[in-house]
Structure 1
Amino acid sequence: MRFYDALWALILNLFVDLTASRCLLAPSDPEWPSTAIWSGLNETVGGKLLATIPIAASCHDRFAQYTSNLSTYNGSVCDALRSTWFYPETHLSSPSSPMAYSFTNNSCNPWVERDVPCTIGYDVAYTINATQISDLRHGLEFAKDHKIRLIIRNTGHDYLGKSTGAHALGLWTHQLKLLEVGTYNTTNYTGPAIRIGAGVLAIEAYRFASSHGLMVVGGNCPTVGIAGGYSQGGGHGPLISKYGMGADQVLEWDVLTADGNIVTANATSHSDLFWALRGGGGGTFGVVVSMTVKAFPDIYVSTASLTAVDNGTNTDIIYDFMKSWLRALPQIVDAGVHALWFIGPSGFSLVPAFAPGLHKDELDALLQVPIEEMKKAGLHYQYSSNESATFLSAYESLATGCNVSDYNIGGRLIPRSLVLSQTDRLVEAIRYIGSEAILSGVSFNARAGVISPDEVAVNPYFRKALFNAFIGVPINYTSWTANQATLDAITTDLLPALEVLTPHGGVYLNEADSRQPDFQSTFYRDHYDRLLQIKRLYDPDNIFYAKIAVGSEAWEQQLDKRLCSLE
C-alpha cells in the first residue's frame, strides 16, 4: 500500500510540475521576481516602473496587494472619482485601469460598500511608463527572462480586455507622442504622410494634421489611440466612406518584435508583418512604436442630425420608419457619408451624418427621403444640419467622450445584401434588441480604401457590410451577478437575433463580444490561417498574448487568473 501511495504522490508531483512549467508566473510562485529584482528593473528604466494601485482604492478601507495591506479610503477623492468614472479621461491617464469594467472581475469596484476590500484582481501587477524604445525593450526582455505575462497598453480604450491581465507587466505606450509630417513616395502612394507615435490620441492627430492643412483617418472617439488597437484592428470613423478604414491608410509600421529588434514593416520590407498589422489585431504581433499614414488635403464637411423620440405610443411607427431608413442608407454612405444612428427605448436618432466634401444642401438632399418618410408617418422629429470649413471644426462640434465604462457590448456586421433583401426580418431583430438594449448602427461604405478585401488583414466581411450593429447594455456596478447575466444575454440572446440572419458572418474586431464563439472565423474570416503563420514567425515563443487575438487559443486563463500554455 505504501508503494502505491508513493507512486501516486510521485505522479501527482509530476503533474503539478508539468502544469507549473507551462504556466506564466504568479506572485505566489517562489520563482516570482523578488522586490529587489523589480527594483533593479525600475533602475534600468529610469524610475518608470509603476506598481499597480487600482484607481478606485480610495473608495475602500483597504487595498490588499499580494503581500501588503494598505489603508486607502479617502471619501473626497472617492466622490470625485465617482463623478468622473464614466469618462475615458479618468482611465486613460491611469497605467492600469480598464475602462471596460467587466474585465476587472469586480476586484476594486468604486460603487460597492467601502468595507469590501479592494484587490488588484485582473489588473496588471506592474507597468513601465515608456517614454523611449529602450524602456519597451527592457520590459520585453524582463518578461521573457522571468516568465512574466506581458501586456501592451496605450489608453485602455478597449472593449475586449486586451490591455489588461492578471500577474502581468504592462508596457504603457501612452507617452510616445511623436508627430511628424512629410512626403511619402513609393510605387503605391506618393503624397503627404504623417508619422504618428503609439501614444497619440485621435484628437491629437486631427489637430496636428489640421495645422498643416491636412486630415488623417481616425476614430469617432477623440481619446482612442490611433496607432494602437484602432488601426491594428481595422478602424472605422468619420472619413471611412470617403477614404476607407484606418488600416487602409498605413504606409509603414515601426515595431518592436519578440526578438528585441525594431523593424520597419512596409510594402517592401517585412511585408508580411505590414499586412498582418493592418487589421489583424493589436497586442499579438509586436509592440508598435509608431506608424506612418496617408494624409489628405483638408476639406469642408457637412453634418446633420435627425431625431424622433419614442413617447410610448409611437413605437410601431418608429420601427416602420426604420425600414425606410435602412433602404435609404446605401445611397447615403455611397456619397461618402458616415452615418451614426441609434435605436432603443428612447427612440431613433441620427447623430451625426458626417459628410466630408459635401455642402449642406447636398447632405440635406441626401436625407430628404427619410425625412419625408417621417412626415408621412406623422412622427414628430427634429432635424438640423450645418457646414464647416474644415474637418477639425466639424469634428470638434460633434465629438463626445465615447465612454467605454457605461456599457457591456456586442456587435455584428450587417451586410448590404441583407438590408436590401430581408429588410422586414432585420427590423424585427433590431426591434427585439432595441427593447432590451441600445443598438447603434455605425453605417459606412468601407470599400473606398482598398482594391481587394485581401489587400489588408481587416476582416474581409467589412467590405460587404452596410453597418456595424453595436449593442450596448448598461453595466450594473452594484451587482456582479446581474452584470454577468447581462454579458450572458448579449452572447446567448441579443446577438443571436442578428446571427441567425447572418450565418457565417463577421464582426468588427474592436467592437464585438469578447466571448464570441468561434472567434477565429467570426473576427478574422479567411485571413486567420495566414495571420497565425505570421504570428508564429515573428513570435515563435508566444510572448505576446491578448484576449481573442491571433494565437490566443494557445493559452488558457485558469481560475486563479494564471495564464497557461496549452501547447
Structure 2
Amino acid sequence: MSKCKMIGRNLMVGLLVATATLSNAAATTAVCQGKCRFLPGDAGWPSDGKWDALNKTVGGRLIRGVPIGQPCYGSSPNASACSEVQRIWTDQDPFITDPVNVVSFYHESDSCSPFYGPLSANAETRHLNCSQGRVASYAINVGDAAAAIAGVKFARENNIRLLVKNTGHDIPGRSSGQGALALWTHNIKSSTIFNYKSKTYTGPAARIGAGLQVLELFDVAAAHGYRVTAGSCPTVGAGGGWVQGGGHGPLSAAYGLGADTTLEFEVVTTDGKHLTASRARNKDLFWALSGGGAGNYAVVLSVTLKVFPDGPVAGSRLTFTEPDPEKYFTALEAWQKHLLYVNTVPGFQASTTLLPGGVFSLNYATLLDGTESDITTHLTPFYRELDALGITPTVNETKAHPTFVEHYRYFEAGTVYTRNVTVGNRLIPRSLIADDARLPSLTRVYKDILANPNSVAFVLASNVSHARVGNAPGDNPVMSAWRDSLFLSNFGVFSDGQATAAELEAALATVNGWQTKFREVTPEGGSYMNEATHNFEFWKTDYYGEWYDELLKVKRKYDPGFVLWNQPGAGHDAWQIKEDGRLCKVR
C-alpha cells in the first residue's frame, strides 16, 4: 500500500464527522497533489473532456494505450487475434511500431500476457481481464514541436507521468510507466545531409528525426556517399535514446560512440520551450544529452550528427563449438588477449556471442578501409591459437564490400532479435586483460554465467579512447570507464515466453547478481546504461561515473519538477514507484 493511500485513509477518518460524503479517493487526492502523480481512477485524473481537448490540440494524434495482449481477454476474447499475439509475443517488431508497448520483457511484464486470459488451458493462471500494467495510458503521435509542447504542458498541469517512447528498444524500461502519457517520437523520420558550420566543426552532417532507425540512417548516409556511427541493431532509433545514452555500434572503433559525433539537438523542454542545444547554445543541455541518459532532461525531436566519407569495408565471421570446458575457456582467454592487438588497429571492431555448451561465434568483425587480406592478417594469430587447441571452426568466412551499408546488410542478414531476455553488462578495462594474474578472475565469472543453460554473453570490442576519437575528458559525459575499456561484455538470461512476473523478477535478480560479480573483478570499470538493469545498486557510479553530479545539476535546471522521470535517470531517486505503481516524491 502506498504512503499516499495510507495518509488519505487516515485523513478521511478524521473528516467523516464533518463531511460524511468525503471519499477515500478525494482525500487521497488532497494529500497527494504534487507529491504523487495521479493514476487512472484517482479523483485528480484528467477527465474524458480534458483528454478530448488535448486530442483536438494535437490534431487528432492522441492514442489510447492498449496492451498488445488485450484481444485475449474480456467476456468475448478474439481467439484468432489472441493466437496471433501469442505467436509474435517474443518478437521485437510489433512492439517497436506500437505507441505504448515496449520491447523489454520485464517492463511489459505479465499483466496482459496473451497466455493467461479466458482462453488459457491452465485454469490456475486463467483470468477474465488484464490490466494496463506499466504500459502508458495514452500516447501522442508526435510529429512536431507543437505536439510535444502540448504534451508536456498537459502532463505538468494535470500532475501525471510523462515519458518519451521511440522504438521501445529500452532495456531499463525508460519508455514505460503506469498511468503515463507517452510522447511517441517513432514517426519523426526526417533526414537531411548538409554541410555544418560552427566554431568547433565544419563538415558533412546528418540532421535526423528522433524516430529514424539505424538501417534507415545507414541508407540515407550511403545515398550521399557517407557512413555514420549508429547502433548494431537495425531497428534501434538512432536519434533517440541510443545516442543520448552514449551509443555504441559497428563504426565506434573508427569514430567513437554516437555521443562523440553529436553537433546539435532540437528539443522541447518541460517548461514548454522549443530550443536548439549545441556547443554554442544551451551548452549544458547539449552536453547532458550527449551521453548523459535518455528521456530525462528534455524531449528530443531531432539530432545532428557528423558523417564520414564512405569506402571499402572488410568483414569476417567465425563459429566453433567446443564441449571441453578447459579448451573452450582457454580459447576465450586467447580471444580476449588477441583483442589487445586488434584494439590498436584503427577501424577494427568485433562482436562475439558466447553460449552454454561451448558455442563461440564471432558474429562479424568490421575493418574500415580494409581488404579481405587485411582482416585475415589481423585475425590469423587467433586462428593459429585455435588450431593449437585442436579447435576447428564450423564457419569461417571473410568478405569485403565497397561500402559500409553493403557490409552491414550482408553480415546482419539472418540475425534474429527477440524480447525474452533480461540483460546487463560491464565495461572490461584493457588493464585487466593485459594482466595474466587477473584474467582468470574474469574467466570464472564467464564460467558462472554460462553454467546457466538459459544464458548468453557477448563480447563487443571497440576502441573509443580519447586518443582514437579525438576528443578530451569532459567534452561529453561519457565516463572514463568507456575510454579505458577493451570491450563491453553483455550478458543475459532468456525467459520462457509465458514467464510470470515472479519469474521475470528472478531473472532480473540473476542478472543483477552477474553485474555485481563483474563489478567485483573490475572495480575500475563501469556499465553501459542503455543495456543495463534499471535497479542496480551501484547505478550512480557505474552508469554515470565521474559526471553524475554535473548531470544532476542539468536535470535540476531544465526539469526541476521532474515532469520527465525514469529509472535509472540521473536524479530519479528523488522519486520512487510505490507498490501500487504510483510515482511519489521521496524528499
Q: After alignment, is 163-172 or 29-38 more displaced?
A: 29-38
Match of 1:358 in 2: 370
The answer to whether the Cα contact below 8 Å between 1:255 and 1:286 also exists between their aligned partners in 2 is yes
Give the letter for the 2:401 counterpart: S
Match of 2:335 in 1: 325
Residues 253-287 of structure 1 deviation map (CA, whole Å, 9 limit, x = unaligned)? 11111121111111111111111100001101000
Q: 1:343 aligns with which of 334, 349, 354?
A: 354
Aligned partner of residue 441 in structure 1, secondary structure: strand
The answer to whether the Cα contact below 8 Å between 2:211 and 2:239 also exists between their aligned partners in 1 is yes
Match of 1:24 in 2: 37
Q: After alignment, is 475-484 or 520-529 more displaced?
A: 475-484
Match of 2:87 in 1: 83
Aligned partner of residue 540 in structure 1, secondary structure: coil
Taking a change above 3 Å as real, the CA distance of residues 185 and 20 of structure 1, as seen in their structure-2 partners, is closer
Give the letter for the 1:173 counterpart: T
Q: Which runs of 5+ in 2 are unaligned?
A: 1-9, 17-23, 120-125
Q: Aligned-residue CA RMSD in angstroms?
A: 2.0
Give the letter for the 1:489 counterpart: T
* 1:83 positional shift: 2.9
Residues 332-351 of structure 1 deviation map (CA, whole Å, 9 limit, x = unaligned)? 13212111011221411110
* 1:14 positional shift: 8.8
Residues 300-327 of structure 1 deviation map (CA, whole Å, 9 limit, x = unaligned)? 11111111113x3x22211111111111
Q: How does 1:257-406 map to 2 (within 5 A)?
A: 257-310=269-322, 312=323, 314-335=324-345, 336-346=347-357, 347-381=359-393, 382-399=395-412, 403=417, 405-406=419-420
Taking a change above 3 Å as real, the CA distance of residues 453 and 430 of structure 1, as seen in their structure-2 partners, is farther
Give the letter for the 1:52 counterpart: G
Match of 2:541 in 1: 521
The answer to whether the Cα contact below 8 Å between 2:340 and 2:434 also exists between their aligned partners in 1 is no
Q: 2:432 aligns with which of 406, 418, 421?
A: 418
Give the letter for the 1:440 counterpart: F
Q: 1:211 aligns with which of 223, 227, 230?
A: 223
Match of 2:529 in 1: 509
In 2, distance between residues paired with 1:354 and 1:435?
Answer: 30
The answer to whether the Cα contact below 8 Å between 1:218 and 1:238 also exists between their aligned partners in 2 is yes
In 2, distance between residues paired with 1:84 and 1:478?
Answer: 12
* 1:84 positional shift: 2.9
Q: After alignment, is 84-93 or 391-400 more displaced?
A: 84-93
Give the letter for the 1:428 counterpart: R
**How many residue pairs end up in the alignment?**
551
Give the letter for the 1:407 counterpart: V
Q: 1:112 aligns with which of 104, 113, 116?
A: 116
TM-score relative to the length of structure 1: 0.93
* 1:402 positional shift: 5.9
* 1:474 positional shift: 0.3
Aligned partner of residue 81 in structure 1, secondary structure: helix
Taking a change above 3 Å as real, the CA distance of residues 334 and 80 of structure 1, as seen in their structure-2 partners, is farther
Match of 1:66 in 2: none
Q: Which runs of 5+ in 1 are unaligned?
A: 63-70
The answer to whether the Cα contact below 8 Å between 1:159 and 1:404 also exists between their aligned partners in 2 is no
Q: How does 1:180-195 map to 2 (within 5 A)?
A: 180-195=192-207
In 2, distance between residues paired with 1:306 and 1:498?
Answer: 26
Q: After alignment, is 430-439 or 205-214 more displaced?
A: 430-439
Aligned partner of residue 233 in structure 2, secondary structure: coil
Residues 457-516 of structure 1 deviation map (CA, whole Å, 9 limit, x = unaligned)? 122210011111111100233342233222111113x22321110125310011112221
Match of 2:241 in 1: 229
Aligned partner of residue 554 in structure 2, secondary structure: helix
Aligned partner of residue 219 in structure 1, secondary structure: coil
Q: Does 1:460 align with 2:480?
A: yes
* 1:403 positional shift: 2.7
The answer to whether the Cα contact below 8 Å between 1:302 and 1:385 also exists between their aligned partners in 2 is yes
Match of 2:459 in 1: 441
The answer to whether the Cα contact below 8 Å between 2:254 and 2:348 also exists between their aligned partners in 1 is yes
Q: After alignment, is 258-267 or 12-21 more displaced?
A: 12-21
Taking a change above 3 Å as real, the CA distance of residues 402 and 514 of structure 1, as seen in their structure-2 partners, is farther
Match of 1:65 in 2: none
Give the letter for the 2:448 counterpart: Y
Residues 339-366 of structure 1 deviation map (CA, whole Å, 9 limit, x = unaligned)? 1011221411110111111111110011
TM-score relative to the length of structure 2: 0.90
* 1:401 positional shift: 5.7
Taking a change above 3 Å as real, the CA distance of residues 7 and 329 of structure 1, as seen in their structure-2 partners, is closer
The answer to whether the Cα contact below 8 Å between 2:260 and 2:469 also exists between their aligned partners in 1 is yes
Aligned partner of residue 177 in structure 2, secondary structure: coil
Percent of aligned positions with the same letter in both sequences? 32
Q: Does 1:474 align with 2:494?
A: yes
The answer to whether the Cα contact below 8 Å between 1:158 and 1:404 also exists between their aligned partners in 2 is no
Taking a change above 3 Å as real, the CA distance of residues 515 and 389 of structure 1, as seen in their structure-2 partners, is same
Give the letter for the 2:158 counterpart: H
Aligned partner of residue 355 in structure 1, secondary structure: strand
In 2, distance between residues paired with 1:439 and 1:210?
Answer: 32
Q: 1:142 aligns with which of 149, 154, 157?
A: 154
Taking a change above 3 Å as real, the CA distance of residues 354 and 78 of structure 1, as seen in their structure-2 partners, is farther
Aligned partner of residue 165 in structure 1, secondary structure: coil
* 1:429 positional shift: 1.6
* 1:234 positional shift: 0.2
Aligned partner of residue 166 in structure 1, secondary structure: coil
Match of 1:173 in 2: 185
